[in-house]
Amino acid sequence: MKIGREKRIRAEYVKETVSQIVEQMIRSVEEPEEQQTKRKSYRNICQITGRGRGVIRKYNISRHEYRKAGDRGKLEGVRRAS
């Protein structure tokens, strides 16, 4: 008798769990979650060094790397001031 009762309880538990999962799936298909309008934070970070301050937006590199690249002639149209 004890074994039959445990099987019945286990079967009921499984049935309830499956029905809950199915209900959640149906709800997610019928009612898509509202799109959250999160404000995305964008921070300028140097692509070479990861520096967060003094970043030139046009090139996405820090002022230090900008100066080095300008000296070496890696950036078109950028020269040292004389």
Same domain, 27 and 51: no
Task: Please tell me whether residues 23 and 48 are part of one structural domain.
Answer: no
Residues 76, 79: Cα–Cα separation, whole Å:
8
- Structural domain total, the chain: 2
Specify whether 2 is located in the same domain as 28: yes
Question: pLDDT at position 55, please?
Answer: 93
CA dihedral 41, 44, 50, 51 (to 10 degrees): -120
Q: What letters, b where the CB count within 10 A reaches 16 and e where it falls short, cover 55-64?
A: bbeebebbee
Phi, psi of 61 (to 5 degrees): -135, 155
* Between 4 and 68, the higher pLDDT residue: 68
Residue 67 lies in a domain: yes
| Structural domain span for residue 67 | 43-76
Q: What confidence tens digit (pLDDT) does each residue in 24-45 have?
A: 887 777 666 555 566 667 788 9
Average pLDDT, the chain: 81
Which pLDDT band, with edges at 50, 70 and 90, does 1 fall under?
low
* 62 in Cβ contact with 56 (< 8 Å): yes
